[in-house]
Structure 1
Amino acid sequence: MATPAAVMLVLGLWGIDRGGMWRDEAVTFQVARRSVPEIWRLLHDVDAVHGLYYLVMHAVLALGPGEVLLRLPSVCGAAAAAALVAALGARLVGPRAGLWAGLLYAITPMVGHYAQEGRSYALVAAGAAGATLLLVRAVDRTPGSGERAGREQAGAAGRRGRGWWAYGAVLGVTCLLHEFAVLLLLAHAVTLALARVARGVWCRWACAAGAVVLALLPMALVSHAQSAQVSWLREPDLDRAQALLRAFAGPTPAVYWTCLALAAPALTRLVGRRGEITCAAVALPLAVVPPVTLMLASRFSPLYVDRYVLYALAGVPLLVAAGADRVAGWPARSRSGSPLLTLAGVLAVAVALAHQLPLLRADRFADHRPDNLAAVSRVAARELRPGDPVLFVPGQTRATALAYPAGFRGMRDVALAAGASASGTLYGTEVDAKILRRRLAALDRVWVVADRYAVQPPRRPRNPLDRLKLSVVTEQFVLREQSARDRVLLRLYVRRTLATDGPVAQAAPPAPRRPGHW
């Protein structure tokens, strides 16, 4: 367990201070620095699904706000997940397979990506791996669930009860960190079905699962009322399913096909003796059931994003390690667990790491995220002057000014009615259309900070007030200057009656992207 955790820590800390947050991280940063009553007020209207995480980060950032501290819990969560994956492999197959599984998990680029992100997904992955390990232990200690249980029955009633309570508690906290972790219950149900466990195991699991669902129900009801937050999602297709598989197994062809080939032998032991949980019976449902369930549900109401099921990735290295261990154990002389075989597996993982190193290195740059709000703020600091009026289109782009206020110091937010903290919202509330028209009518020039999609057809903002902003600006003003940073544009508009003849600024090309994004 220690070796994969150490490797994950090194990879997670490597380049953790990349010099800029992207929009989701900026939300964590500005919400977590509010007071607890202000966070509680916010959760009644938006982001209830991240409520527990915001409270955890409130305590963390109280030590000192900064990007490193913002991402440090995710690094620790990823390291814990790598250790727990190793523990699962060791318990279900053996120490050799456990070591390989933990190392494979640690070097996967998708794991490294979210290990360096100030969001809850790495912590959820650790909780899911821990809950799965607790499930295996609880089943083994329950009477009638296998040979190991038979050896432990004497005087073990208290331990059995504590095992199931621990399973329910860890899974419950994990679901409160992100409610889609509840799909882990379906994966665990498939695992128990494949193991053909005794009726007593099903009863204890059902009690623990019921407690988890009951604890999650209030948050699920509140978050359902806030479902407009994910209205931008689209129904996943076959290409996105294949992209997820590649992210899980390895984004490069060599690693991807090698992992799939090694995972195949593990599936030959999908079902073991009655009451026995095999590695494949744990790993395959873990890797498949949550993503497939969420994709199928998204056919009716789009909810799928790959990061929502990051925790399912743990099943793939378990399968690969179990298959590799099975291949290594086929020669009779290899069954003793030779240290040379263990070392050979570690070297193979090291080769895979070297093969994927360009992807890991590229992911350490701020420009490799969807946007870089620090860079946008630097552009604003260079272009804006104190007192300049600014219009954010849509209102969510105000996240730049909230995360990096230095670049917007002294500017006038034309559409703002109340600030984010004061209004109990993520980005603040805006004035109505009448007041906005009156404020714009008094201006001779205005800076527009806009998402690229919002100002370039065919897509247009959904919010009527954001459409009004664009309508008034394009009708009454003329574009004079433009700077672009990733998906954010900074434009200066001058009133048509004051504009002099001359060329209007042309749209700047998108910023170059570094190659090799996983």
Structure 2
Amino acid sequence: MRSIPIAPALLLALLATVRAARLGPSRDELATQAFAALDLDALWRAVSHVDLVLAPYYVVAHTASRMVPGDLGLRIPSIAAAAVAIGAITWLARRWWGAGAALVAGFAAASNPLVVELASTARPYALAIAFVALAALAADRAGSTRQWALVAALLVGAGAMHLFSLLAAVPLLLVPAFGRGPRAVRGALAAGGAAAVVLAPFAVAAASQRRQIDWMTAPDPPTALAVLANLVSSPDRLAPDALDLAAWVVVAGLVAAAGVLHVLGRPADGDTDAARLADRSRWMGAFVATLGPWAVLLAVSALGSPSLRTAYIAPSAVGLALLLAGSLHRIVGAIGRRRASVRPVAARASAAPAFAAPAFAAVAATVGLIAAVGLSAAADPREARQDDFAGVAESLTRSAEPGDLLIVAQRHHETGLAAGLARFTDDRRFARDVAARLPGGSQPAVEVRVVVSTEPLRTVRVDGSLDATPDTRPTGTAWIVTSGIPLAAADCAELPQRPAGCAGPAERSERHGGLHLAVVAASTQS
């Protein structure tokens, strides 16, 4: 029975590895790559300007990139962490509700498209999920001071990977502890308090870079619902579609049925009040961990500090898998007790297989529906908003001419845009400029470069007059690369050399996933 977690963990590792090998790096992953390439001293100086909240993860990425170079090497920590998370979820569900529930929780989490996507991404969210799952498992096993100290350490790990992950970790620790008695509650509170003390200075320092998420806006109701729907879909869905809604209808139906049956159904033979309290506490802990982080960040956003993103509530996937498993366990148990109560005593021993089949059919249908949601999200790369740097580079190489301007708009929160463009155009001078500016935080929000050759593409930065750049002649054409947010007049006004139509309508416009390439043909202004 101890081998139960292995199969779901291997499934997740396989799905994530295939996805990681198939897809190129996103803009955020290119930021990870840029920071990970720095030595530790330069890395510390860089995060003092931007991305301080990701500093612990960048140290992990720095180490991984030294051990296994390349994109896959950067993604290995996420793949490994997600596999560990699946194992911990499965093991915890087995401790709470038995082997059947363990398989439900494990395979539901392993097939969740959000978990698979984050597991194959060089960002901290999969590691945060792993720390949350491990903390919940360790708390369920904890009894001694040393064991609660381990729980506190795992909470610190979760917070170091992403502070908002604690919104899912706390209910998974604290609510089930009420079912174990006052001593467990005191242990959970002590572990949480110790973790809070350790993380407080880090949280305060990270809050000093709050302007990094100033681009976020308070979500309207459809966007808020899309973020919640993304727990069984993709972190980049802009709005829930029919499959998203169907998956949530199934989950909500199972949860509601489990709640009603638990309240109205008869207890199992031999169940004590303590056992019922423990079961109720575990189920409620999973329920709060699923919806609580979303509700808290939605409320914070409504109060004036927009913070609601799918990736920020990703650890709720732990609660969702446990909630699904616990709900099916309740439903199957209630049906079993009902049928057994009207059968002869001799037939009760064989009652379980009769309702195991429909239960497993429900599990298979739910997991299949969630997987279908993920496939639909991956089918259209434009909807998934995968950053197509290769497409931008191809357009520039094919159509740009020496003397054209290249305007790169990288807002404060878009630390990977310039690095990605430099990498995929194989513009080594541009790449050196980006790397040299990173430790000092001096990457401009809008940078102007001039194309000096196209075979291969080479650009130089324009700091003054374009006429002072050797071997080029102004063409009056500008290529503007953004993340999809158009340049404003204020952006253009600060450029040392700019086309007159910089912030105006483009002559040609191309969308490459989450990137936007516009061509403006106009005279330049100094």
Report the alpha carbon displacement of residue 110 of structure 1 after superposing the two structures with TM. 1.8
Do 2:254 and 2:327's aligned partners in 1 also have CA atoms closer than 8 Å? yes
Structure 1 SS opposite 2:306: coil
Question: 1:329-382 CA deviation, whole Å, 9 max, x = no partner?
Answer: 232367879568667655544444444555434555765334222322233333
Q: Aligned equivalents of 1:319 and 1:57: distance in 2?
A: 32
Report the alpha carbon displacement of residue 404 of structure 1 after superposing the two structures with TM. 5.2
Matched, 1:168 2:142: no
Structure 1 SS opposite 2:24: coil
Q: Output aligned runs, 1:45-444, within 5 Å.
A: 45-138=49-142, 141=143, 160-184=144-168, 186-188=170-172, 191=175, 195=179, 197-198=181-182, 200-248=183-231, 251-267=243-259, 273=274, 276=278, 278-298=281-301, 299-329=303-333, 330-331=335-336, 332=340, 338=352, 345-346=359-360, 348-361=362-375, 363=377, 368-384=384-400, 389-394=405-410, 399-403=416-420, 405=422, 407-409=424-426, 419-424=434-439, 428-429=443-444, 438-440=464-466, 443-444=474-475
Moved more, 57-66 or 40-49: 57-66
Query: 2:478 pairs with 435, 442, 447, which one?
Result: 447
Report the alpha carbon displacement of residue 11 of structure 1 after superposing the two structures with TM. 1.9
Report the alpha carbon displacement of residue 301 of structure 1 after superposing the two structures with TM. 1.1
Structure 1 SS opposite 2:407: strand
Q: Aligned equivalents of 2:368 and 2:503: distance in 1?
A: 53
Structure 1 SS opposite 2:315: helix
Cα distance change of structure 1 residues 50 and 358 upon mapping to structure 2, 3 Å threshold: same
Report the alpha carbon displacement of residue 315 of structure 1 after superposing the two structures with TM. 1.4
Cα distance change of structure 1 residues 285 and 409 upon mapping to structure 2, 3 Å threshold: closer
Report the alpha carbon displacement of residue 249 of structure 1 after superposing the two structures with TM. 5.4
Structure 1 SS opposite 2:50: coil
Equivalenced residues, count: 469
Q: Aligned equivalents of 2:33 and 2:307: distance in 1?
A: 24
Cα distance change of structure 1 residues 188 and 485 upon mapping to structure 2, 3 Å threshold: closer
Do 1:377 and 1:406's aligned partners in 2 also have CA atoms closer than 8 Å? no
Q: Aligned equivalents of 1:387 and 1:411: distance in 2?
A: 18
Question: 1:112-137 CA deviation, whole Å, 9 max, x = no partner?
Answer: 22222221111111111111111222
Q: Aligned equivalents of 1:337 and 1:229: distance in 2?
A: 58
Q: Aligned equivalents of 2:127 and 2:175: distance in 1?
A: 23
Q: Aligned equivalents of 1:237 and 1:476: distance in 2?
A: 31
Report the alpha carbon displacement of residue 167 of structure 1 after superposing the two structures with TM. 0.4
Structure 2 SS opposite 1:17: helix
Q: Aligned equivalents of 1:204 and 1:279: distance in 2?
A: 16
Moved more, 314-323 or 200-209: 200-209
Cα distance change of structure 1 residues 472 and 417 upon mapping to structure 2, 3 Å threshold: farther
Do 1:286 and 1:315's aligned partners in 2 also have CA atoms closer than 8 Å? yes
Moved more, 292-301 or 266-275: 266-275
Structure 2 SS opposite 1:21: coil
Query: 2:500 pairs with 469, 474, 480, which one?
Result: 474
Alignment identity in percent?
A: 24
Cα distance change of structure 1 residues 114 and 185 upon mapping to structure 2, 3 Å threshold: closer
Do 1:86 and 1:99's aligned partners in 2 also have CA atoms closer than 8 Å? yes
Query: What is the one-letter code of the residue matched to 1:360?
Result: G
Cα distance change of structure 1 residues 180 and 120 upon mapping to structure 2, 3 Å threshold: same
Q: Aligned equivalents of 2:25 and 2:432: distance in 1?
A: 26
Q: Aligned equivalents of 1:475 and 1:262: distance in 2?
A: 56
Question: 1:2-25 CA deviation, whole Å, 9 max, x = no partner?
Answer: 121122122222332234222111
Matched, 1:486 2:513: yes
Q: Aligned equivalents of 1:352 and 1:430: distance in 2?
A: 45
Report the alpha carbon displacement of residue 177 of structure 1 after superposing the two structures with TM. 0.9
Cα distance change of structure 1 residues 311 and 19 upon mapping to structure 2, 3 Å threshold: closer
Structure 1 portions without partners, runs of 5+: 142-159, 499-518
Do 2:152 and 2:195's aligned partners in 1 also have CA atoms closer than 8 Å? yes
Q: Aligned equivalents of 1:361 and 1:476: distance in 2?
A: 39
Do 1:31 and 1:426's aligned partners in 2 also have CA atoms closer than 8 Å? no
Structure 1 SS opposite 2:406: strand
Query: What is the one-letter code of the residue matched to 2:77?
Result: P
Do 1:391 and 1:449's aligned partners in 2 also have CA atoms closer than 8 Å? yes
Structure 2 SS opposite 1:46: coil
Cα distance change of structure 1 residues 337 and 193 upon mapping to structure 2, 3 Å threshold: same
Cα distance change of structure 1 residues 194 and 201 upon mapping to structure 2, 3 Å threshold: closer
Report the alpha carbon displacement of residue 455 of structure 1 after superposing the two structures with TM. 3.0
Structure 2 SS opposite 1:14: helix
Report what 1:30 is aligned to.
34
Q: Aligned equivalents of 2:416 and 2:400: distance in 1?
A: 17
Do 1:484 and 1:490's aligned partners in 2 also have CA atoms closer than 8 Å? yes
Query: What is the one-letter code of the residue matched to 2:216?
Result: L
Cα distance change of structure 1 residues 5 and 384 upon mapping to structure 2, 3 Å threshold: same
C-alpha RMSD of matched pairs (Å)? 3.7
Cα distance change of structure 1 residues 201 and 339 upon mapping to structure 2, 3 Å threshold: same
Structure 2 SS opposite 1:291: helix
Q: Aligned equivalents of 1:334 and 1:115: distance in 2?
A: 44
Report the alpha carbon displacement of residue 256 of structure 1 after superposing the two structures with TM. 2.7
Do 2:86 and 2:106's aligned partners in 1 also have CA atoms closer than 8 Å? yes
Cα distance change of structure 1 residues 242 and 454 upon mapping to structure 2, 3 Å threshold: closer
Moved more, 187-196 or 469-478: 469-478
How does the TM-score come out when normalised to structure 2?
Answer: 0.77
Q: Aligned equivalents of 1:66 and 1:44: distance in 2?
A: 26
Structure 2 SS opposite 1:455: coil
